[in-house]
């Protein structure tokens, strides 16, 4: 079979298709290539996890073209006969053998071969099938091609499933099944709501005090169910603390409260009263009636924005709703709509500083790790440690905000040293677990850390348990040029005792070639602002090409930051950029998730 294609050509073409594993177009690329390799008209990849008797295609090819995905019943189809571990082939008369499969009969399919898609422990996830309108002899070579392809697809499906499970555990409240606080903050990174309501269950502590915590848990589950019952599918509901729920109403839900002559605040208050009405009927748990009422806070984008106002992020609106709840409680009212008198910007910064100082003292920060890849091989060759702060009251705090606090309040050295110490501890932990990080772990350094006279001794003490070869210290080009003479002196001193350096965000500052040669940097990182404009701005592409040429002349390695599209990846690889990082390749994740995804 497969026409005149040699065995070598078949496997080379298959290998090319398999290199797309991990990309969004992997399944589509594979079914198209298998159609050519096997010389068949139809190829499909289908998922059967939700229902073993229903296949949901993930990629579907017909006569060299991709079709929209479909779901179909396996009862009476040749796919039903695919065994748990081996291939199943029919080399002729398929339409006659399976008359109940109307699609195959309509297409006049005569030959069929299917391979199960399995996890590493042998659990069936789906089917990879190839079909032809001609009688085809599927020889051992064809079966081996399908076996290899099916193994890779099964591995990809298993990896995706593990990522979804990790995400569900991280972002889903185990008690109610709602999105949890962390999940809500993650969602707000991409979702920009107009309005957020926070509903705090009154006197919930009394329920736990009078009854046991099991009853309290059942009450919370019932509250969550009641909220789901009354909101539309487009409205987001989350449990953000033990007895507090966030509601992000869809536009249609909120519009139902619009009444002629009412201000937006009055409309929001009407929606808040509607929430209270949902709980007029008591909740029943173990023959006990619980009458639930709430203190509700609401915040939204400013109704009339001047040219000086900025659009609020979802996290900022959520924080304002939290302030409104606190204000309503203080005034013993059912509802409050946020206004700036509740918390001035100065009060907020002071409160955030106090929270930051407490977090630093109690080491409440966490490092996330973003993989760095060799672009031509898609192989992990290092990582970057990124500091993250999740505050119980304010949620995720932007690094731009807390780093600004650290720098202006004289705490940058303490924060920076903690980050370096934690990064070293994690390297040791990965090594001890038998999953060492390939390449170097990059750690961002502030010029504030370099100002102290004891920086060399301090860094040597912090990194005593790891080989300096495994670390890459990063300083942004802009930070370096704030005090170029002092910073270059400190960097040379640290280089002389074995530390390796990277110049971060390269291209945005004003460093000269003379400074680069003095610094003896091992790595230049091309700033994401240039990478993001690949394909749109020839001037920025020229800058990238110039940086690549300069790095090669100085024998400095390059890492491109912020790679988010296949076009950017292809351009950088084509023009000789060695390594890169970005959301297309791998997002920053906690250490345990990083190890599972990239080190095992």
Q: What is the CATH number of the domain that holds 437?
A: 3.20.20.450
Q: Do 11 and 107 have their domain in common?
A: yes
Considering only CA atoms, which of 525, 184, 577 is closest in space to residue 374?
577
Task: Give yes or no: residues 157 and 230 share one domain.
Answer: no
pLDDT higher than 80, residue 517:
no
- Does residue 568 sit within a domain? yes
CA distances from 181 to 282, 318, 328, 399 (A): 26, 11, 21, 19
574 and 495 together in one domain: yes
Can you tell me the distance from the alpha carbon of 439 to that of 471, in angstroms, rounded to the nearest whole number?
A: 8
Shared-domain flag, residues 568 and 538: yes
Give 542's contacts (C-beta < 8 A, 6+ positions apart): none
Among 289, 308, 343, the domain-final residue is 343
What is the reported pTM? 0.53
Q: How high is the pLDDT of residue 425?
A: 97
Say yes or no to pLDDT of 515 above 60. no
Instruction: Please state, in angstroms and rounded to a whole number, the distance separating the CA atoms of residues 79 and 90.
Output: 11
pLDDT, position 42? 94
Answer whether residue 443 is part of any domain: yes
Give pLDDT, residue 164: 66
Q: Which helix or strand (DSSP H or E) is residue 113 part of? A: strand 111-118
The answer to whether residues 317 and 429 belong to one domain is no
pLDDT at 307: 43
- Does 365 map to a domain? no
Q: What is the pLDDT of residue 438?
A: 95
pLDDT tens digits, one per residue of 544-598: 888 888 888 778 899 999 999 999 999 999 999 999 999 999 999 999 999 999 9
Q: Is the pLDDT of residue 79 over 80?
A: no
Instruction: Tell me, yes or no, whether 380 and 307 share the same domain.
Output: no
Q: Write down which residue in 146, 169, 192 finishes a domain.
A: 169
Task: Give me the number of domains the chain comprises.
Answer: 3
We report the CATH number of the domain holding residue 39 as 3.30.450.40
pLDDT band at residue 202 using 50, 70 and 90 as cut-offs:
confident
Would residue 281 count as lying in a domain? yes
Q: Mean of the pLDDT values across residues 281-309?
A: 79
In terms of domains, do 331 and 376 share one?
Answer: no
Give the range of the structural domain holding residue 90, as residue numbers without chain letter: 7-169
Q: Give domain status of residue 357, yes or no.
A: no
- Please tell me whether residues 467 and 416 are part of one structural domain: yes
The verdict on residue 526 lying in a domain is: yes
Percent of the chain with pLDDT over 70: 91
Q: Are 500 and 551 in contact (CB under 8 A)?
A: no
Q: Are residues 480 and 541 in the same domain?
A: yes
Confidence of residue 309 (pLDDT cuts 50, 70, 90): low
Q: Is the pLDDT score of 2 beyond 60?
A: no
217: CATH: 3.30.70.270
Packing angle between helix 484-496 and helix 455-462, nearest 10 degrees? Answer: 40
Please choose, from the candidates 61, 58, 105, 98, the residue with its C-alpha nearest in 3D space to the C-alpha of residue 82: 98
pLDDT of residue 507: 59
What phi-psi label fits residue 54: left (phi over 0), alpha (psi between -120 and 50 degrees) or beta? beta
Q: Residue 549 falls within a domain, yes or no?
A: yes
Q: Which residues contact 573 (CB under 8 A, 6 or more apart)?
A: 375, 376
CB 574 within 8 A of CB 560: no
pLDDT of residue 30: 93
Are 12 and 110 within one domain? yes
What value does the mean pLDDT take over residues 293-309?
Answer: 73
| Sequence-ordered strand ranges (E) for 160-309 | 195-201, 236-241, 244-248, 283-285, 288-290, 294-300
Residue 520 pLDDT more than 50?
Answer: yes
- The residue among 209 and 354 whose pLDDT is bigger is 354
The verdict on residue 51 lying in a domain is yes
Whether residues 524 and 376 fall in one domain: yes
Residues 9-38: pLDDT tens digits?
888 888 888 888 878 889 999 999 999 999
CA-to-CA dists, residue 550 to 514, 530, 537, 570, angstroms: 12, 16, 20, 20
Based on the fold, state whether residues 138 and 202 are members of the same structural domain.
Answer: no
**294, pLDDT greater than 70:** yes
Is the pLDDT at 344 greater than 70, yes or no?
no
Kindly state the average pLDDT of the residues 273-294. 89
SS3 558: strand
């Amino acid at each position: 079979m497969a026409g005149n294609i040699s065995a070598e050509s078949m496997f080379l073409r298959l290998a090319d298709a398999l290199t797309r594993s991990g990309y969004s177009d992997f399944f589509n690329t594979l079914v198209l290539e298998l159609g050519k390799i096997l010389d068949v008209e139809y190829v499909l990849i289908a998922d059967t996890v939700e229902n073993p008797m229903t296949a949901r295609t993930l990629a579907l090819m017909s006569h060299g073209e991709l079709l929209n995905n479909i779901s179909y019943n396996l009862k009476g189809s040749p796919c039903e006969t695919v065994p748990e571990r081996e291939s199943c082939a029919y080399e002729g008369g398929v339409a006659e053998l399976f008359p109940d499969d109307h699609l195959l009969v309509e297409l006049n399919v005569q030959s069929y071969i299917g391979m199960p898609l399995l996890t590493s422990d042998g659990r069936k996830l789906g089917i990879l099938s190839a079909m032809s309108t001609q009688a085809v002899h599927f020889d051992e070579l064809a079966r081996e091609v399908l076996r290899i392809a099916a193994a890779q697809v099964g591995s990809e499906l298993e990896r995706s499933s593990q990522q979804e499970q990790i995400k569900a555990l991280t972002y889903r409240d185990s008690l109610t099944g709602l999105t949890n606080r962390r999940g809500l903050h993650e969602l707000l990174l991409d979702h920009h709501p107009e309005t957020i309501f926070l509903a705090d269950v009154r006197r919930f502590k009394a329920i736990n005090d009078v009854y046991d915590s099991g009853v309290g848990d059942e009450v919370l589950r019932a509250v969550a169910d009641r909220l789901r019952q009354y909101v539309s599918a487009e409205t987001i509901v989350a449990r953000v603390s033990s007895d507090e729920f966030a509601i992000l109403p869809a536009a249609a839900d909120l519009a139902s409260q619009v009444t002629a002559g009412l201000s937006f605040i009055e409309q929001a208050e009407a929606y808040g009263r509607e929430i209270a009405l949902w709980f007029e009927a008591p909740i029943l748990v173990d023959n006990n009636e619980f009458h639930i009422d709430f203190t509700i806070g609401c915040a939204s984008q400013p109704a009339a924005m001047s040219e000086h106002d900025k659009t609020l992020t979802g996290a900022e609106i959520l924080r304002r709703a939290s302030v409104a709840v606190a204000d309503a409680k203080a005034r013993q009212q059912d509802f409050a709509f946020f206004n700036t008198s509740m918390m001035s910007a100065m009060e907020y910064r002071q409160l955030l500083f106090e929270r930051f100082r407490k977090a630093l003292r109690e080491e409440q920060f966490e490092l996330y790790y973003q993989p760095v890849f060799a672009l031509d091989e898609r192989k992990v060759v290092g990582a970057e440690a990124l500091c993250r702060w999740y505050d119980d009251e304010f949620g995720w705090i932007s690094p731009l905000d807390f780093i600004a606090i650290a720098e202006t309040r004289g705490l940058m050295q303490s924060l920076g040293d903690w980050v370096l110490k934690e990064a070293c501890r994690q390297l040791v932990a990965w090594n001890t677990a038998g999953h060492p990080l390939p390449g170097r772990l990059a750690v961002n350094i502030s010029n504030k850390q370099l100002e102290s006279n004891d920086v060399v001794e301090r860094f040597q003490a912090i990194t005593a348990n790891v080989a300096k070869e495994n670390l890459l210290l990063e300083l942004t080009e802009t930070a370096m040029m704030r005090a170029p003479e002092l910073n270059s002196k400190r960097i040379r001193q640290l280089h002389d005792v074995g530390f390796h350096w990277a110049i971060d965000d390269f291209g945005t500052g004003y460093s000269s070639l003379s400074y680069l040669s003095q610094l003896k940097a091992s790595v230049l990182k091309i700033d994401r602002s240039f990478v993001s404009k690949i394909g749109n701005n020839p001037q920025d592409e020229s800058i990238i090409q110039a940086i690549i040429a300069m790095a090669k002349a100085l024998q400095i390695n390059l890492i491109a930051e912020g790679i988010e599209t296949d076009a950017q990846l292809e351009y950088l690889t084509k023009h000789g950029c060695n390594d890169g990082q970005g959301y297309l390749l791998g997002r920053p994740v906690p250490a345990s998730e990083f190890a599972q995804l990239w080190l095992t």
